[in-house]
């Protein structure tokens, strides 16, 4: 069992333990108030796979609860789902003492935490993430949100969980593509902040690919620790959190240029990281050897990566749209060495174009 504290204003614990789902009840009991409703938010497929373990443990802990389902998938990360769930909570007569439990991937987690942040002006939420992305990224850090027709995560709040419970055994049923997409975000943490983590992934790539329990637990714990560190530092001082966007500037553009149908998020980020390395090399700010190591690990871990079907012009147009939405200046997070990145404004247009062209060619050759 590993415990990591997210040391924000109201500090909370991330507990990582194999088969933790079977003991979720005793943990949740600590956060449920006397007479308050415990509402488990999940989706049908997740409930079918994992709900039984959590519900059994809630019964064993004598904790009265209700399960409410939202529809599964990114398409339902909407204000409509929030309204439906809020109506259900009101129907259950849930009050300020209610505890929302988010059981699922990043979609359920973002929706349930958003709901918890606004229902009766805010109730507690505990996250039980069930995808690798949710375990190492979305469940930690307090960002909640839903999508609008105009774009992803355009409406949201900050609402930290009271606790995060991670059971690596829950990943056993996760489809391979989803799992590898999560590994892409894990590589990101290594490149931006921890050479050790990057080298751990390099060294244990085969074990990680076959989800070796011990290696996987170490990986999750390390990523959680790094995310917690960045979130805490950012809350206190700077815009450090920006470095979490490594690979995401072009990654987001790839996703939106292909209307979110072609890539999983982590796959788009994988190409975004490779392109960022190219940019850094063209700007003479990164050794070719290091770029090569990062590329090799990304290509091996996140394989098979869908090829990039669009041309640089369209992708760059989408980058600029993103830039507009984010106050005008285009920032790139570029690696300097393993474990250290820099925030670079004003990457020359020709370099951007060349790096993207190289990445597109690489994607079509592999």
Q: Which residues are catalytic?
A: 121, 143, 185, 227, 237, 241, 245, 248, 252, 265
Nearer to ligand NAD, 170 or 338 (CB): 170
Asked whether position 134 contacts ligand NAD by CB under 6 A, the answer is yes
Of 36, 45, 97, 306, which lies in the binding site for ligand NAD, with binding defined by CB under 6 A? Answer: 45
Nearer to ligand NAD, 263 or 362 (CB): 263
Asked whether position 136 contacts ligand NAD by CB under 6 A, the answer is no
Q: Could you tell me the sign of the dihedral formed by the alpha carbons of 28, 47, 139, 157, in that order?
A: negative
Asked whether position 228 contacts ligand NAD by CB under 6 A, the answer is no
Only one of the segments 61-69, 98-106, 158-166, 214-222 lies at the binding site for ligand NAD (rule: CB under 6 A); that segment is: 98-106
Distance between CA 99 and CA 22 in Å, rounded?
A: 19
Cβ–Cβ < 8 Å for 67, 47 = yes
User: Shortest gap between Cβ of 331 and ligand NAD (angstroms)?
Assistant: 18
**Which among 334, 359, 179, 149 is positioned nearest to 271, based on CA atoms?**
359
Cβ–Cβ < 8 Å for 165, 128 = yes
**Which among 88, 136, 137, 138 is positioned nearest to 108, based on CA atoms?**
138
User: Shortest gap between Cβ of 337 and ligand NAD (angstroms)?
Assistant: 25
* Contacts to ligand NAD from residues 59-88, by CB under 6 A: 72-74, 77
Q: Per-residue x/- marks for ligand NAD, 173-212, CB under 6 A?
A: xx---x----------------------------------
Of 39, 40, 46, 281, which lies in the binding site for ligand NAD, with binding defined by CB under 6 A? Answer: 46
Asked whether position 143 contacts ligand NAD by CB under 6 A, the answer is yes
Asked whether position 159 contacts ligand NAD by CB under 6 A, the answer is no
* Phi, psi values for residue 159, rounded to 5°: -155, 100
* Encoded tokens for 243: 């470095």
User: Shortest gap between Cβ of 290 and ligand NAD (angstroms)?
Assistant: 26
Cβ–Cβ < 8 Å for 233, 147 = no
State the CB neighbour count (10 A cutoff) for residue 283.
15
Of 104, 168, 272, 312, which lies in the binding site for ligand NAD, with binding defined by CB under 6 A? Answer: 104
Strands 151-155 and 146-148: antiparallel
Only one of the segments 43-51, 200-208, 282-290, 291-299 lies at the binding site for ligand NAD (rule: CB under 6 A); that segment is: 43-51
DSSP 8-state class, residue 238: S
- The full 3-state SS of 256-302, as one line of letters, equals HHCCCCCCCHHHHHHHHHHHHHHHHHHCCCCCHHHHHHHHHHHHHHC
Asked whether position 153 contacts ligand NAD by CB under 6 A, the answer is yes
> Under the rule (CB under 6 A), what is the footprint of ligand NAD?
43, 45-46, 49-50, 72-74, 77, 104-108, 110, 130-131, 133-134, 137-138, 141, 143, 152-153, 170-171, 173-174, 178
């Amino acid at each position: 069992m590993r415990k990591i504290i997210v040391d924000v204003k109201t500090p909370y614990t991330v507990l990582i333990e194999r088969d933790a789902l079977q003991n979720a009840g005793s943990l949740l009991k600590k956060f449920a108030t006397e007479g308050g409703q415990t509402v488990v938010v999940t989706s049908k497929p997740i409930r079918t796979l994992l709900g039984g373990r959590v519900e059994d443990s809630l019964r064993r802990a004598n904790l009265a609860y209700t399960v409410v389902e939202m529809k599964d998938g990114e398409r339902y990360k909407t204000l409509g789902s929030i309204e439906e769930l809020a109506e259900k909570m009101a129907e259950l007569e849930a009050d300020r003492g209610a505890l929302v439990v988010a059981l699922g991937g990043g979609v359920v987690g973002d929706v349930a935490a958003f709901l918890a942040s606004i229902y009766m002006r805010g109730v507690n939420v505990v996250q039980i993430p069930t995808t690798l992305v949710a375990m190492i990224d979305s469940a930690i850090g307090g960002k909640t949100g839903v999508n609008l027709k105009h774009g992803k995560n355009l409406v949201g709040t900050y609402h930290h969980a009271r606790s995060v419970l991670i059971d690596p055994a829950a990943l056993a049923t996760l489809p391979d593509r989803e799992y590898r997409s999560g590994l892409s975000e894990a590589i990101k943490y290594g490149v931006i902040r921890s050479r050790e983590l990057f080298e751990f992934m390099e060294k244990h790539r085969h074990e990680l690919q076959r989800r070796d329990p011990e290696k996987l637990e170490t990986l999750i714990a390390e990523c959680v620790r790094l995310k917690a560190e960045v979130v805490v530092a950012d809350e206190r001082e700077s815009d450090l959190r920006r470095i979490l966007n490594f690979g995401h500037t072009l990654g987001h553009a790839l996703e939106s240029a292909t209307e979110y149908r072609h890539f999983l998020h982590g796959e788009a980020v994988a190409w975004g990281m490779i392109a960022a390395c190219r940019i850094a090399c063209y700007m003479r700010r990164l050794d070719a050897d290091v770029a090569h190591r990062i590329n090799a690990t990304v290509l091996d871990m996140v394989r098979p990566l869908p090829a990039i079907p669009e041309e640089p012009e369209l992708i760059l147009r989408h980058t600029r749209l993103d830039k507009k939405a984010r106050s005008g200046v285009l920032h790139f997070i570029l690696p300097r060495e393993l474990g250290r990145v820099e925030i670079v404004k004003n990457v020359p247009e020709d370099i951007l174009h060349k790096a993207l062209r190289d990445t597109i060619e690489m994607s079509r050759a592999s």
